Structure formats: structure tokens, C-alpha cells
Structure 1
Amino acid sequence: MSTTTSRELLESPVLKAAISKAAKRLMPMLVILYVVSFLDRTNVGFAEAALKTDRGVGAGAFALGAGIFFIGYAIFEIPSNLLLKKIGAKIWLARIAITWGIVSACFAFVQGETSFIVLRFLLGVTEAGLFPGVIMFLADWFPNKVRVQMFAIFYLAQPFSQIIGNPLSGWLINIGDQIPGVHGWQVMFLVEGSLAVLAGIAALIFLINGPEKATFLSRAEKDALEEIMALENVVKDETGPRGVWAAMRNGKVWYFTVIYFCLQVAVYGVTFFLPQQVASLTGQKVGLAVGLLVGIPWFFGIFACYFMGKAATTIRRRRNMGGILFASTGLCIFGSAWAGTNHQPVLGLIFITLAVCSFLAVGPITWSYPTAFLTGTAAAAGIGLINSLGNLGGFVAPILRTAVNEAAKSPTGSAGVYALGVLPFLAAAMMFYTRRFKNKADELL
């Protein structure tokens, strides 16, 4: 099929109707899955001080536990993706949510540093494959031209989880502290882990493995969607790596792994310590009030993520927007560190808000690149590799931040924040350099 014909197909009213129906049916469930996922991996920030007081989990053990999640995640990521390809996204994504929800609820029974670290590792093992599984799922359902928009909608789960989850976590801690014989942080882990189990059960009902099985689409809509996706897969198969080992040796896959690693250092370096950072800026104790303030950056992040994703409709826009947003992330992290050192809480919150907006908006743009040249088992392996090794940034970030603060003897913790802001600039340079890449699939935009 010619490029002209493919573009005509993309403008087809039937295809547009199919895409609209698929988005309305699938995206809410995927967002819910990621909301509870992101909540369960980051709510530990609300329990940091309480775990130290009640269970003797020190700063070093907390940093190790916060980061070791990503070791378990990285080890089981690619096997999980390959199993998803074999079993189907519907069952596998539901299994992931149910098992990680059970592990998350078990944090209520932490007895000390060892059990905390073990559970964090198991949380990573059970959640492995969710994010890349959804990325592959969306790449099977939506053509390249609109995929960034779908990724952006999926990414909205991160700010939603923080807007809803941070006040919820703070509220559950406050309520739980009123129950005799129970700590507030225990109630938080039990309730939020149970939400993941319920989300997994719902996924069995609402997710569908492919357009052919979608009863909500007409025959013409199924044909139109399958035709454009088949065309893209042919292009990917012609120009991209074939098979698991070819994907894992592919230079572009490793290139985007480095970019994603830089992004995750920024994301989790900010997210894990955000409640404590806001509490330090405002002079308040972590609880409902801090939870509400922490929700502010994520609220604005919703709009940044959605509108940037909607605007990134050409390869040139994606490249330029991606580079600018990565640079903005680094600058704003630096700004938040400066505000903390100089006791400027309002400026600090503004810089944190801009940093969150930047790294949320650049995530969907980053994922549009590998999904444009990976398909089949190569996609399972390549996307899994990018996400698993890239997510090691979440392991490195808290350890790096803590180590720099201790080495610099930083009373405000700003030295560690400055360290986190360096890598986004590397990602910005690498994103601009992608102008030298040639990818036939980009012709379908």
C-alpha cells in the first residue's frame, strides 16, 4: 500500500469512529490500573517518618527499599511481557494488578527493615510488566498518528493518582491513627492494596485483547482498524529488529533505554520524596494538609500531559517538544532545590509544579519512538528492556539523593535534589539528536 493510500485510510471516517470507540471503551480501565499502580508504588513516601518511628526503618533502609522495587521490576519485566504476548493482555494485566495489590496490602504488617525491603522487592516482581504491557496493548490497538494521544491519556493516571491518592493517603493515615491498636500507615496500605485487587478484577471485564474480538465495533470499523495496524506492522517488520535477541541488540532500543533512565531518575527522585519536601518547605507534618498541597503539581500536570500529547502530531514536533520538556525538567528541579535552600516555599512549589508538568508531558512523546519501529516479540523484548532498565532510574534516584545529601552534609537536602536535575539535560540532548534517525513508520504520521 502506498503512503498516499495509508494517509487516506488514516483520514477515513470509519477508522476515526473505530479509534474513538476504542478509546472510550479501553482507556478508562487502563488509566484506573495505572492510578492504583502508581499509588501503590509511591504511597510509601507518606509512611517514611512513621515507619522509622514505629518499625525502626532508617533512612538508608528506606532508600534501599524504595529503590529495590525496581530491581524486582527489572528482572521480571521481559519475561512478563513475553507471557503477556502468549496469554493475552486481558488476563495477564488483571493477574498483575491482583497480585501486586495483595503484596501492597501486606505492607501493613511490616515488622522492621528486612520485611520492608523484602516486600518492596516483591512489589516490583508482581507489578513487572504492567506499564510495558499497556504500551504494547495500545500499540496493537491504535495507529502511530494517534498513539501519543493515547499514551498521554494513559499517563494522566500519574497525576490522577497523586491528586486523588495523596489526600487519600493522608486522610487514611489521619483516620487510622484514631483507631485503637492500629497505626494510620497500616490502614493506608490495607485500603490502597485492596483497590488494586478490585481494579484487577474489573480489568477481566472491560479489557479486550484485540479489535477482532471487540463487540462494540462494527465489521467495517474492525476491518479499518485492522488494516491500518497491519500496514504499520509490515513497515515495522521490514525496517525494525525481528525477534527477542535482535531487539535486545538493537542500538535504537538501547538509545531510548538511556533516555528513559534519565526520565525515571527525575520522576522518582521527585515523587518518592515529594511529601517530605513539601512538608519541609511549608513547615508542616505529613498528613492531609500536605497531601492536598502535593496534589497541586499533579493537577496542573494533567493539562500539560494531555495538551502536549495532543499537539505532538508530527515527528518534528515530538523531537522539539521532547528536548525542550527534558531541559525544562532539569531546570525546574534545580529551581526547587534553590528555593529549598533559600526558604522560599511558594517558589519551591511553583518549580516543583513545572518540573512535574514537564516530565509528565515528555513521557508519552518518549514512548512514541520505540513503538514506531518495534512489533511482535521484538516489541515485547524491546519495550520490556527499555522500561525495565530505564526504571532502574527509580532505584538509583533515592540512593543518589540520599548519598549526595550525606556527602555534602546538606541540612535542607537540596544538594541531593541538584544531583537529580542533571540527567534530564542529557536526555534533552539525546532527544534533539534523534533528528538523525530515519524511520519509515514516521511516514505514516
Structure 2
Amino acid sequence: MKHPLATTASTAEFAPPDDAAASFEAKTYAKVARRLIPFLMLCYLGAYLDRVNVGFAKLQMLNDLRFSETVYGIGAGIFFLGYFLFEVQSNIVLHKVGARNWLARIMLTWALISASFMFVKSPTVFYILRFLLGVAEAGFAPGVILYLTYWFPATRRAKALSMFFMAIPLAGIVGGPLSGWILHAFHDVNGLAGWKWLFMLEALPSLVLGFAIIFYLDNGIASAKCLIDDEKALLKRNVEKDNAQKVEHVSIKSFIGDRRLWLMASIYFCVVFGQYGLTFWLPTIVRRTGVADPLWVGLLTAIPYVCAIVALPLLGSSADKRRERRLHLAIPMLVSAAGFATLPMLGSVGASIVCLSVAAAGILASSSLFWALPTAVLGGMSAAAGIAAVNCFANLAGFFSPAIVGWLNDFTGKSTAGLIFISAAVVLGAVLVFFVPAKTVNR
């Protein structure tokens, strides 16, 4: 089926005016975005909720099980060791077998493991299940990032990625009040602690969405049921043109030896360090301002994520419009670092929420804006392995961030040192951004 405004090789002499062709292209990408982004956001919301709800479970679980802050920090972070060991392999498999079945497998597996946390009784079981959750989820976020490169060229990718990563603040907006309500309303229901109900109930969305992927998601442009022939041709042509400008490594040695990959991994390590410093400790920080009821803790933790959800699409659209990537990444990182550094100086609930909102908006916007860098220079199998490798290395920060902050909190008896450490790591990442050549990413 042909669109009347589409340009093909056989009808080139009847090519439409530039504005009509641009309109057709814009409508095509809008159609793809409507088809993919909301659904993928829902899936990532489920993933992120299951990954970080341990931060709310901590409000009751630590007292019930007599875990220390250090035990919690190690358990929260050990997730990322499993993630690290299996992420690259997962993305390569996805590239070979297709996104639909592989992403469904990931979601169904982690839903079952997440629900199993209700049976935790010892630090050892806690560590094992967190590690297995990381193994199960390995490859989902980088897999979706890779999947979006099949549809969107570099010039349109920052906006698409920022929309997808809005699932993180959405998880905070939905998950905070939901988690607080479950802890408050379900405590001792049928003899189970609220934190056990939390793990069981919040695993259900991922279980449902895992089955939904099988029936809804298309593996790529060629198999897209919602597109007409000329829309497929347009998308394919733009992606092929975009990939022609990218690096395709020919050997493992050249891949590992690419300094740009290591630089980008280091930048994202600092972003992730700040991101999980916020995510795993936000409920605790709010409670330490004097808020005791878990329901109110949950409601107040939603406010920083509301600010982040406003910042993400605005900064993503601005980066694409101006074809500028480095400042759009570095400035939000520095703003976030300022929020973390100022937080220890404040004591009131209102002032703390303002600083947390600044920190959340900056660091969560950075987590999406970053991906415009590596996806601008890698294509094909290199993109599959490169995106996973960068994400894999950087997510080790998800282990070190809660582990170091937990240890610093125990060692000093307060959260000041941990927050300053997070701020310093994010500033370092912002400085490293300017070592990426502007000409390779500003397009």
C-alpha cells in the first residue's frame, strides 16, 4: 500500500514539495512513537518498580529482620553484579532472536523473582534474591535502547529516549504513594508484614506486561503491522543512512580498545551513581526529616519525580532541536550535584523536598540525555554490544552507590558524608562529558 505523499524511486518525478514530505515523515515518526513509547514506558515502569521498591520495604523490613544499613546497602547494590555479568550477552541475544520474545522472557522471570522477596529471612537469602533479580532483568533497559535505534535515527533519538526514560520518574510518582499505602494498609493483613505484601503485589504488573509483550510488540520495521509500505520504506531509509555514519567494529580487540566506549562508560557510571543514590535512599531521607507515617513518606517522595517528569521531555526536545548533546548532559548533572550537596545543610521537610526535586530532575534527565552519545557513533552488532557494555560497566555504580552510602551512614551516624560523596561523583561525570568530541555527537 502506498501513501500519496510518499517518495519512491519509481515515482521520483512526481516528488511532493519539501513541506509535504517533511509532514509525511513527521507523522510517520509520531505514529511509531505512539505505538512504541507508551507501552515500553509501562514495561520499564514495572521493571523499575520491582528494582527499587526495596527502598520502601526497608522502612519496615530492617526492623523486622534486624538488618543493618550496611546489609541493606550491599543487598540493594548486589542486584547490579548480576546485571553486570549477563547484560552484554542478553543484548546480543536480543539482536539475534528479536526483541519481542526476549523482552517478554526478561519481564516474566524478574516478576517471579521479585515476588519471592516476601520469603526473605536472612541477609544471605536477601543477597541471593537481589543477585538473581539482576540476572533476570539484565538486558531490559539496554535492550529497549537498542530496539529504539532500529526505528529512530540519531537526530530523533534524544526525544524518544527521554520519553522512554520518563518511566523512571513515573515509577517514583506511582510507586512512592503506592508503596507507602501498601505498607500502611496491608501491615499484618493475614498475618503478613506490609513489606511482604509490597513485594508480592508490585510484581503483578510486570507479570501481566510480560505476557502482553508477546502479543503487542513488533521485532522491527519490516514486521510492523501498523505501518504501510511507504512508511516502512521511509523509516528503513533513514535508519540505514544513520548507520552508515557509525562505527562498526570488526574484532573484539578493536571493540574493547575503543577509548570512546570507556569514556562514555565512565560518564554514565557517575550518572548511575547519582541516580541510585537518590532512588535507594530517598524514602530514608524523607523519613529523617521527621515524617513517620509510611503513607506520607510515599506521597512526599513523589514530588521530586513530578519535577523530573517535567524536565525530561523539555531537555530531550531541546537537545534534538539544537543538535547539541554535551551541554544538555553536563548542565543537568551539575544542577543535580548542587541539589545533593545542599541537602545536608537543611533540616525542614519543605527545603529538603526542594533540594531533592532539583537533584531528581537533573540526574534523571541526565540518564536519558546520555544515551544520545553512544548511539550516535555505534551501529549494527557494535551498537548491540556497545550499548550493553556501557550500561553494564556503568551499572556497577548501582552496586557501589548504595553500598558506599550505607557504609558511610553507619560509620558517621548520619547521611551527610554519603550525599557529599554522591555529589562529587556526579560533578566528575559532568567534567568527563567535555572529553567527548562535539563533532561526533552533535547531530
Category of TM-score, reference length = shorter chain? over 0.9
Once the two structures are superposed, the pairs formed by residues 168-183 of structure 1 within 5 Å of their partners are: 168-183=178-193
Whole-angstrom CA distance in 2 between matches of 1:209 and 1:249:
31
Whether 2:63 is the aligned partner of 1:46: answer no
Whole-angstrom CA distance in 2 between matches of 1:90 and 1:401:
37
Task: Give the superposition deviation at 1:285.
Answer: 2.2
Letter in 1 for 2:100: K
Q: Which residue does the alignment assign to 1:263?
A: 271
Whole-angstrom CA distance in 2 between matches of 1:103 and 1:10:
51
Q: Deviations over 1:267-309 (max 9, x none)?
A: 101110100100111x122511110000000011111011111
Task: Give the superposition deviation at 1:116.
Answer: 0.6
TM-score w.r.t. length of structure 1 = 0.92
Once the two structures are superposed, the pairs formed by residues 220-259 of structure 1 within 5 Å of their partners are: 220-236=230-246, 239-242=247-250, 244-259=252-267
Whole-angstrom CA distance in 2 between matches of 1:213 and 1:103:
32
Q: Any unmatched runs of 5+ in structure 1?
A: 1-7
Task: Give the superposition deviation at 1:375.
Answer: 1.3
Task: Give the superposition deviation at 1:438.
Answer: 3.7
Whole-angstrom CA distance in 1 between matches of 2:151 and 2:316:
17
From 399, 407, 431, give the equivalent of 1:403. Answer: 407
Whether 2:311 is the aligned partner of 1:309: answer no
Q: Which residue does the alignment assign to 1:356?
A: 360
Q: Which residue does the alignment assign to 1:391?
A: 395
Equivalent residues of 2:73, 2:404 under 8 A apart: no
Equivalent residues of 1:176, 1:186 under 8 A apart: no
Q: Any unmatched runs of 5+ in structure 2?
A: 1-17
Q: Which residue does the alignment assign to 2:10?
A: none
Whole-angstrom CA distance in 2 between matches of 1:141 and 1:249:
28
Task: Give the superposition deviation at 1:249.
Answer: 2.4
Count of equivalent residues:
427
Q: Which residue does the alignment assign to 1:190?
A: 200
From 160, 171, 191, give the equivalent of 2:170. Answer: 160
Q: Which residue does the alignment assign to 1:424?
A: 426
Task: Give the superposition deviation at 1:157.
Answer: 0.1
Q: Identify the range of structure 1 (181-190 vs 124-133) with the bigger mean alpha-carbon deviation.
A: 181-190
Equivalent residues of 2:69, 2:410 under 8 A apart: no
Whole-angstrom CA distance in 2 between matches of 1:327 and 1:182:
43
Q: Deviations over 1:194-232 (max 9, x none)?
A: 211111111112211111111211111110110010111
Letter in 2 for 1:255: L
Q: Which residue does the alignment assign to 1:365?
A: 369
TM-score w.r.t. length of structure 2 = 0.92
Task: Give the superposition deviation at 1:56.
Answer: 2.8
From 301, 321, 331, give the equivalent of 1:324. Answer: 331
From 293, 300, 307, give the equivalent of 1:293. Answer: 300
Whole-angstrom CA distance in 2 between matches of 1:206 and 1:19:
18
SS state at 2:245 partner: helix
Task: Give the superposition deviation at 1:11.
Answer: 6.3
Letter in 1 for 2:402: P
SS state at 1:38 partner: helix
Q: Which residue does the alignment assign to 2:229?
A: 219
Q: Which residue does the alignment assign to 1:276?
A: 284
Whole-angstrom CA distance in 2 between matches of 1:100 and 1:32:
15
Alpha-carbon distance change, 286 to 207 in structure 1, aligned in 2, over 3 angstroms:
farther
Alpha-carbon distance change, 26 to 391 in structure 1, aligned in 2, over 3 angstroms:
same
Q: Which residue does the alignment assign to 1:375?
A: 379
Task: Give the superposition deviation at 1:72.
Answer: 0.3
Letter in 2 for 1:415: A
Whole-angstrom CA distance in 2 between matches of 1:326 and 1:173:
33
Alpha-carbon distance change, 60 to 11 in structure 1, aligned in 2, over 3 angstroms:
farther
Whole-angstrom CA distance in 2 between matches of 1:170 and 1:226:
46
From 105, 115, 123, give the equivalent of 1:113. Answer: 123
Alpha-carbon distance change, 437 to 248 in structure 1, aligned in 2, over 3 angstroms:
farther
Equivalent residues of 1:284, 1:290 under 8 A apart: yes
Whole-angstrom CA distance in 1 between matches of 2:194 and 2:64:
11
Equivalent residues of 2:73, 2:405 under 8 A apart: no
SS state at 1:33 partner: helix
Whole-angstrom CA distance in 2 between matches of 1:316 and 1:221:
24
Q: Which residue does the alignment assign to 1:199?
A: 209
Equivalent residues of 2:277, 2:422 under 8 A apart: yes
Equivalent residues of 1:101, 1:193 under 8 A apart: yes
RMSD after superposition: 1.9
Task: Give the superposition deviation at 1:432.
Answer: 2.6
Whole-angstrom CA distance in 1 between matches of 2:75 and 2:95:
30
Q: Identify the range of structure 1 (348-357 vs 193-202) with the bigger mean alpha-carbon deviation.
A: 193-202
Q: Deviations over 1:15-51 (max 9, x none)?
A: 2222111100111111011101111111001111322
Whole-angstrom CA distance in 1 between matches of 2:184 and 2:350:
25
- Deviating beyond 6 angstroms after TM superposition, the runs of 4 or more aligned structure 1 residues are 8-11
Whole-angstrom CA distance in 2 between matches of 1:304 and 1:345:
22
From 67, 72, 80, give the equivalent of 2:82. Answer: 72
Equivalent residues of 2:73, 2:407 under 8 A apart: no
